[in-house]
Structure 1
């Protein structure tokens, strides 16, 4: 290394007055040529050879011409095997042994540099100092020029700049002042991957200045308004062939606040109809506090009608989690005076709920993981009997898409709910479930219970990113004290889901029954649905 320093000094002296010349650096071994602008650049190039395992680089000749200077050099052998000694600061930073032997010095240098990058030293440089030969093997010291440590200072939106300010603040809350490195850049990318309202046009970019490190996010507003329609075919309780259907219209992020308004209508084969209106604002006054209101109207032919309003406030724990407090205001009216299985009541209450949703990388799947838990304390008044009762209502649902191997996936889903009361419940206040998005093979909301649970396993084969086949099996049980029923239920079926120019189309055939009963072809349910985003 002392010889190289002498060579460097000689170059600087010889070419001090010739700074406007070109400098040609010619390798005598390969005859390759590198052109630099001045003697300082030539010196740095030769120094870099010595720092990259060519410890015996020599200048063989110098031709000083009028317009250029030719420097002929021999870089000598490349010593990638070395006895390494780490500088005290590097050994302390990496918490590792200070001396070791390696057969791949380049890999060691690369690993050390990456570790410093992960620590936030994005512009670190590993320097190699030749210390001499030891038993025919070079001995070197590795040190690191760390520069200043880089941390994430903020985010700048490009493309979709009307995203809610709270959205940006939440990103800064999660990532600001974290060490800048690949790990956190990937975490940022994952947090925005399959976001319900925005998409990344390209990976996050970084702007480094002397005093700051800002992440540029090139966002695009997603088309998230949707129309979801489903048409079903099956038999009702009297085994008559009937049509049923579902319409679900969602307007989302129209005002750039990640808000949503949804309208839902459903008709089941047993002449029951349900109407649902929901509005949700996730960031009130640019805070993490959100609010929602849900109004549901259910009418069972001409026997009874229930009206339920659920106002709620919640806190966004993260982009995936919400914890909320809600109220319940419900009224049930008996429409047929001859209907003796129901009674009129009014109900008020308050409860807690929690919601977790993890996005999926497969566009055909709605999500990767979903968990919903609810608990409500209710106070019910039965006007006809002049009776007040305290009740509790619980609900738990979970779903997860598990990748088995290759294009094979397993969708696991479970749901349970219970309504407990001091008094005997009537039919019009029982929990209702069953159908397309519940226990398939049964009519929509045709199963009544004060407690139920079911689990489902669905095998999915992903043909490509545009279609998948599925085969499912479900098992469940309900408890209905009013009718003194405790049947064990099962269902099975298969389906096909694929993208068309107008949206995602779903086709499903299913059949369900009670254990102990024969499977009837007439109980087969056929559902066809389309989901369009605009």
Structure 2
């Protein structure tokens, strides 16, 4: 057996020498120092594993040089300096800085060309030579979006006019007649409201097929609470038709929201409870409609009932309507009935504009006629509302990323058989600023202004509580003018748990009682995403300018929002 050992050793040495073979080096120079500097700036790969890799790198460099304007470049030498180094010499020649591209007006519009260059003339346009490839790619997409998805572009009749200018003719082969969109087929959620295809997504059969426009419109589904896009749209081209397939699933969008709050009564030192129930039913009839019901009772013996119905795209038209009934009762003092009717137009997937009529009737329930704190009155307001909603994934912890709602109303109030002109402004906006995956900021602004010669207490704005300035009793603050700033710094502890700070500020102006004051609130809160829904806990302590912080003024709010 020993006679085989020398053979084995020799074989191992030969195999090892192949394993440790050194890499090959490539150096490329130009015909002069200036050309060499140009080549160096292209940052070509100088180290290669074999000779074939060197040839590919030289070929790649030639293409890059040509695209930059040196279309006459050529290799005039490839020399092996030693076992590991190869030298290539390339003559770049003249650099052509611009190109004149001639086109046919009946094949491409001047508007498309103006999107890439301002140097456009009657029959040709001028671009930097380095932009030829990007320009052809852009024009190809433009023509495809004009109903010719199978078009082909190329440059022909390439001529050199002088040392710096080159000309060519743009040849467009559309391949087939212009295509339109003939049919739209929804897969997954076959009962998806047809009016939403036409009015919300603005996708409908048309004479011109534009796939980029369709993709942008389908992305609007991200702002729709009752449907999700499963996968990107697909197109089926046949000889005589074009069919669009949309893949959509119906999403759970009904919500049940409720909370329980408790605090200590300042007079009796007893624990008091309050809360509300908020039910929203969305798209249960596959029409895109929404129904909302709210019932609220608090420790101040205030009761609120609100019902709202929103019907979009009536009879397939772009107009929708919204009806609302609100009943408010203050113990046995007075009640107020507010009825609203609004018509709205969906400008785009995020923006709506409303015009409406708002009627209010309030009645004094006190038997004693000597008490004039509350008064019978009725009022009518004509309103205009701007609404903007940028919705994140509906199943996320926070349903809206950005909200802006501004209402302007003008009308009159009838009191003691006297009409008095009134104007009002009501606004709310909020935004979530994501700092990173774990940290975010929530900022919310809310305010209202009533302009009138005289004011009645039972027509004042009421605010305060978990959905306003926290740390105060629900609807305990009355104002003719107020503004609230809510801020939260939110930190994501885990996928299902987050915590946040509470820093709120409000300015209150009450012309009836001649009160002007600033309000402050500080606290902490957290949210837990459970199988039942999002459970939120808030602890906040509020005070006014003339008060000190007291623990017995703190408010604790618990709420649970379920999606089903």
Unaligned runs of 5+ in 1: 1-75
Partner of 1:226: 255
Q: Is the 8 A contact 2:338 2:358 kept in 1?
A: no
Q: Supply the distance in 1 between the matched residues of 2:194 and 2:152 (Cα, whole angstroms).
A: 38
Structure 1 residue 347: Cα displacement: 1.0
Q: Supply the distance in 1 between the matched residues of 2:475 and 2:518 (Cα, whole angstroms).
A: 17
Q: Supply the distance in 2 between the matched residues of 1:355 and 1:464 (Cα, whole angstroms).
A: 37
Equivalent residue in structure 2 for 1:88, among 92, 97, 102: 102
Structure 2 residue matching 1:167: 3-state secondary structure: helix
Partner of 1:169: 198
Query: How much is the aligned-residue C-alpha RMSD, in angstroms?
Result: 3.6
> For the structure 1 residues 98 and 303, does the alpha-carbon distance in structure 2 shift closer, same or farther, using more than 3 Å as the test?
closer
> For the structure 1 residues 445 and 221, does the alpha-carbon distance in structure 2 shift closer, same or farther, using more than 3 Å as the test?
same
Equivalent residue in structure 2 for 1:318, among 348, 354, 364: 348
> For the structure 1 residues 108 and 407, does the alpha-carbon distance in structure 2 shift closer, same or farther, using more than 3 Å as the test?
farther
> For the structure 1 residues 209 and 242, does the alpha-carbon distance in structure 2 shift closer, same or farther, using more than 3 Å as the test?
same
Structure 1 residue 441: Cα displacement: 1.3
Equivalent residue in structure 2 for 1:123, among 128, 150, 154: 150
Unaligned runs of 5+ in 2: 1-57, 72-95, 118-124
Structure 1 residue 284: Cα displacement: 2.0
Partner of 2:273: 243
Q: Is the 8 A contact 1:433 1:444 kept in 2?
A: yes
Partner of 1:15: none
CA deviation profile, 1:308-367 (whole Å, cap 9, x unmatched): 222333333333313221231322232353883533313131311324232333522121
Mapped pair 1:494 → 2:561: no
Partner of 2:339: 309
Q: In the TM superposition, what are the counterparts of 1:502-517 in structure 2 within 5 Å?
A: 502-517=532-547
Partner of 2:34: none
Q: Is the 8 A contact 2:381 2:412 kept in 1?
A: no
Q: Is the 8 A contact 1:341 1:427 kept in 2?
A: no
Q: Is the 8 A contact 1:334 1:342 kept in 2?
A: no
CA deviation profile, 1:407-460 (whole Å, cap 9, x unmatched): 43222211111223233x232221101111111111111101111112222222
> For the structure 1 residues 479 and 87, does the alpha-carbon distance in structure 2 shift closer, same or farther, using more than 3 Å as the test?
closer
> For the structure 1 residues 335 and 310, does the alpha-carbon distance in structure 2 shift closer, same or farther, using more than 3 Å as the test?
farther
Structure 1 residue 405: Cα displacement: 3.9
Structure 2 residue matching 1:188: 3-state secondary structure: helix
Partner of 2:30: none
Partner of 2:391: 360
Structure 1 residue matching 2:400: 3-state secondary structure: coil
Mapped pair 1:331 → 2:332: no
> For the structure 1 residues 130 and 293, does the alpha-carbon distance in structure 2 shift closer, same or farther, using more than 3 Å as the test?
closer
Structure 1 residue 122: Cα displacement: 3.1
> For the structure 1 residues 354 and 381, does the alpha-carbon distance in structure 2 shift closer, same or farther, using more than 3 Å as the test?
closer
CA deviation profile, 1:167-198 (whole Å, cap 9, x unmatched): 12215746776976664344223211141222
> For the structure 1 residues 357 and 469, does the alpha-carbon distance in structure 2 shift closer, same or farther, using more than 3 Å as the test?
farther
Q: Supply the distance in 1 between the matched residues of 2:356 and 2:391 (Cα, whole angstroms).
A: 27
Q: Supply the distance in 1 between the matched residues of 2:453 and 2:134 (Cα, whole angstroms).
A: 72
Structure 1 residue matching 2:231: 3-state secondary structure: coil
- Greater Cα shift, 488-497 or 107-116: 107-116
Mapped pair 1:158 → 2:184: no
Q: Supply the distance in 2 between the matched residues of 1:486 and 1:325 (Cα, whole angstroms).
A: 32
